[in-house]
Amino acid sequence: MTSRALAAALVLCGLGVAACGGAPDDGAAGPASPGPATSPADPGASAPAGSPDSDPPAPPAEEGTAPPSGETAASPSGETTATSDSTTPAPGGSAAVKPLRGKVVVIDPGHNGHNYRNPSAINRQVDVLTHKKACDTTGTATDDGYAEAAFTWDVSRRLKALLESRGATVKLTRPNNTGVGPCITERAAIGNRARADAAVSVHADGARATDRGFHVIIPKKINGPVDPVVDDSEKLGRAVRNAFRSGTGLPYSTYIGRNALSFRNDLGGLNLSRVPKVFIECGNMRNAGEARKFRNAQFRERIALSLANGLQDYLT
């Protein structure tokens, strides 16, 4: 290079690094890696760390009979939906990969907001193969009146949005939180008709105030339609359990099950299912600390994201 050409090149480089083939550095940081979410403060939870697995279980949410203490809106105003961490760019960066494309998921929001208005309908006995029981129930509520039906509806809607953002086809067993039912038999039938790759029934428990933690209910064989999917249901349950614990920070149940897994043959929603299905009891609504978390919209989003991640782990 001549001295004149070298001088020209130096002048050009003085205009910016990019002119000399380098990458500009304007000091702007790249997108931060999403770290683990933090739990809202929980000064009220002071329950013992655990109790023997042999303790008698509290009545399951599906069989609860406590009417809601007050009507609560199904979802908060200004509701937002988190973006999935699991959506990754496609080769070439032209579009997002949908990891759940082609998968069908059925979400069953436990109970319904107006079940308490029609006791004759929900108390009607239906056959769940191992015995007969009520068509549906009202569910439980927090001590200050936040109904389980409202909680399950809000979490389920958030979960539906997250799964759809990942490419799944999602069906809910009820369209709103202002109706009655459907019966537990129909809830199972909805998953069967959809030929769901996975189904989850969302609940929260109503145990003693000192009890705390979440658990997943998994079906047992009953010489019935659920038998062929019992093993897959256990795999689903374990995936959901692991993701829920990691994502929410809530402890394993201190009062029912072992390591947050409870195997049962008395729930119609499981006995009649021909597709892999589990129930999730997200925690105890009668425990002051967990009730406070459930009332927090951001924490309900964390619950939904944790469930979405568990379902994705199982489905992929």
* 281 annotated active-site: yes
- Burial environment of residue 242 by CB neighbours within 10 A (0 to 12, 13 to 18, 19 or more): middle
Q: Where are the alpha helices (DSSP H) in the chain?
A: 3-13, 119-122, 148-165, 184-193, 230-248, 268-271, 288-294, 297-315
| Distances in whole angstroms, Cα of residue 35 to Cα of each of 32, 205, 279, 312, 313 | 8, 29, 28, 19, 19
User: Which of these, 217, 212, 206, 293, lies nearest to 252 by C-alpha position?
Assistant: 212
- The active-site residue, picked from 62, 186, 234, 281, is 281
Contact 250, 283 (CB under 8 A): yes
Question: Residue 283 is inside which H or E element, if any?
Answer: strand 277-284
Contact 183, 190 (CB under 8 A): no
Q: Which residues are catalytic?
A: 281
